[in-house]
Amino acid sequence: MTEKTSTYQNVIRQFDKAADLMGLDPEIRKILSKTTNEITVNFPVKMDDGRIEMFRGYRVQHNNVLGPYKGGLRFHPSVDIDEVRALATWMTWKSVIINIPFGGAKGGIQCDPANYSTRELERITRRFTFALGCAIGPEYDIPAPDVNTNAQIMAWILDTYLSMMPPLERNRSLHVVTGKPIESGGSLGRDKATGQGIVFVIEQWARDQGFDLKGATYTVQGFGNVGSWTARLLKPHGARLVAVEDVSGSFSNPEGLDADDLSDYAKAHRGRIAGYPQATPIDPEAIFSTQADILIPAAMENQITAVTAPLLNVRLVVEGANGPTDADGEAILAERGIGVLPDVLCNAGGVMVSYFEWLQNKRSEFWDLEEVDSKLYRKMVSAYERVRDATQAYDVDWRTAAYIVALSRLAKVYKERGIFP
Ligand code: NAD
């Protein structure tokens, strides 16, 4: 049996590569290669049948030098301190690359939500929020949805957090979470934001490369929030989704799958795509070997590895998920001439619109969808251009360039402010 890849080790390998290349100050390097706070909470929850079950949850805060900690919450059996540490660190880089005044954090509960009723999930969420207490807050650390969490879960966190506040504070704290339902203070466009940002990046790349998206083929791993929205928003460009995978299996249709129809099907089948009539089941590995122009991993980390990277039959990987390519996999892709547009750039649309939601709540405003989308477009294009320009200035791959953009800015800030005392 192979050892589980350390996701945080992967972050450090990416970090070291960029830091070496740009000659990052060794003192700054010490600071940024560590997380600031790592909170582990164990808490009891009453199950529907009266039993008590113990849960373990995490919140890791990597860095807040540019603004409040910000990052999603994940409910998944794989959640552990190593994974959350890595995800929190990526959030710091992402906020800098997209140029918003947030730091990086991430959290989650080690559990499989499919094993619990809705009432149990509500109690798990509320008890976790209570356990975190003042470790989160609207001007301090702001959670959002991630794998297996959604607007409903954010509404429960909001309600629990507000219930713990003194009455005068309650109406000032709506922005303690983002990705809320619209009626509870959410932003239009947040639901599709990550997929929308990915599609804006693909458009820019295609324009630079003189690549026609009309008739292009692509595959998607993961058909949840990120994967399904990306596919739905690529549809108007005339690109063809030829294979897709989620936890329920891998499926193909060389003629092209209709992303809207598949998304409706998944919604009606507990979020899963198995049994979709217009697709044929394929082997799990086939999601990697299917021939297409673009592969969009939008599920979990460590999917494109030394084992799967040799199978890839595409010209470009567009990372929708966080950390889908590990350092060994990336080296193989580079040798094979397969480009990678990295997570910290591609999926930054989610945190971007989370920032818009946070601002709207603080200012008691409500922006229309056109305003959200046009602001997101401008931010994604300028982030893309910053990273693209760094690939040319340093003659490096896109991930290393994105890290250089983030690390240069953070290094400047530490230099300006110094270290207390
Ligand atoms: P989600 O829970 O909505 O969907 C996850 C999807 O991945 C589901 O279709 C699930 O079936 C599938 N999946 C899970 N494990 C899999 C496996 N081993 N093989 C194949 N498919 C598998 O989650 P999401 O919000 O879409 O997040 C997906 C990825 O995108 C994560 O890496 C997350 O951190 C990242 N991300 C999400 C957001 C956001 O706004 N939701 C923002 C930035 C990054």
CB atoms within 10 A of CB 81: 15
Q: How far is the CA of 151 from the centre of ligand 1 (A)?
A: 15
CA–CA separation, 183 and 363 (whole Å)? 16
Contact between 85 and 9 (Cβ < 8 Å): no
CA–CA separation, 261 and 190 (whole Å)? 21
Q: How far is the CA of 102 from the centre of ligand 1 (A)?
A: 22
Which ligand 1 atom lies nearest to the CA of residue 87?
34
H/E run at residue 12: helix 7-22
Q: Give the model confidence (pLDDT) of 109-129 as tens digits.
A: 999 999 999 999 999 999 999
Percent of the chain's residues with pLDDT above 70 = 99
CA–CA separation, 81 and 388 (whole Å)? 33
Q: Give the model confidence (pLDDT) of 357-414 as tens digits.
A: 999 999 999 999 999 999 999 999 999 999 999 999 999 999 999 999 999 999 999 9
CA–CA separation, 170 and 141 (whole Å)? 16
The two three-digit tokens of residue 260, written as one number: 């809207």
Residue 215, CA atoms < 13 Å, CB-side half-sphere: 2
The residue among 152, 272, 275 whose CA lies nearest residue 224 is 272
Angle formed by the axes of helices 118-132 and 151-164, to 10°?
A: 50
Mean pLDDT score, 127-136: 98
Mean pLDDT score, 4-31: 94
Task: Report pLDDT for 2.
Answer: 39
Which of 79, 93, 300 most suits a substitution to test ligand 1, by most atoms within 8 Å of the C-beta? 300
Residue with tokens 């998304």: 263
Q: Which amino acid is at 312?
A: L
Q: How far is the CA of 363 from the centre of ligand 1 (A)?
A: 31
CA–CA separation, 196 and 234 (whole Å)? 9
Which of 226, 233, 276, 319 most suits a substitution to test ligand 1, by most atoms within 8 Å of the C-beta? 226
Closest C-alpha residue for ligand 1 atom 23: 147
Q: How far is the CA of 155 from the centre of ligand 1 (A)?
A: 20
CA–CA separation, 420 and 411 (whole Å)? 15
Active site positions, annotated? 106
Closest C-alpha residue for ligand 1 atom 4: 224
365 burial (CB, 10 Å; 0-12 / 13-18 / 19+) is exposed
Q: Is the dihedral of CA 367, 373, 376, 382 positive or negative?
A: negative
Q: How far is the CA of 298 from the centre of ligand 1 (A)?
A: 5
Averaged confidence pLDDT in the chain: 97
Task: Report pLDDT for 420.
Answer: 93
Write the DSSP assignment of 267-312 as a string of letters: HHTTT--TT-TT-EEE-TTHHHHS--SEEEE-S-SS-B-TTTGGG-
Backbone angles phi, psi at 245, to 5 degrees: -135, 140
Mean pLDDT score, 253-280: 97
23: left (phi over 0), alpha (psi -120 to 50) or beta: left
DSSP-based three-state secondary structure for 380: helix
Which ligand 1 atom lies nearest to the CA of residue 247?
11
Q: How confident is the model at residue 304 (pLDDT cuts 50, 70, 90)?
A: very high
0.95 surpassed by pTM: yes
Q: What is the DSSP letter of 323?
A: S
Which protein residues are within 6 Å of ligand 1, measured from CB? Answer: 145-148, 194, 221-227, 245-247, 298-300, 320-322, 347, 350
Q: Give the model confidence (pLDDT) of 162-216 as tens digits.
A: 999 999 888 899 999 999 999 999 999 999 999 999 999 999 999 999 999 999 9
- Has residue 1 got a pLDDT over 50? no
Q: How far is the CA of 24 from the centre of ligand 1 (A)?
A: 33
Closest C-alpha residue for ligand 1 atom 17: 247
Closest C-alpha residue for ligand 1 atom 29: 321
Task: Report pLDDT for 5.
Answer: 67
Task: Report pLDDT for 3.
Answer: 47
Task: Report pLDDT for 4.
Answer: 55
Least confident of 1-10, 77-86, 140-149, 238-247: 1-10
Closest C-alpha residue for ligand 1 atom 3: 224
Q: What is the DSSP letter of 158?
A: H
Task: Report pLDDT for 171.
Answer: 87
Closest C-alpha residue for ligand 1 atom 42: 350
Contact between 128 and 41 (Cβ < 8 Å): yes
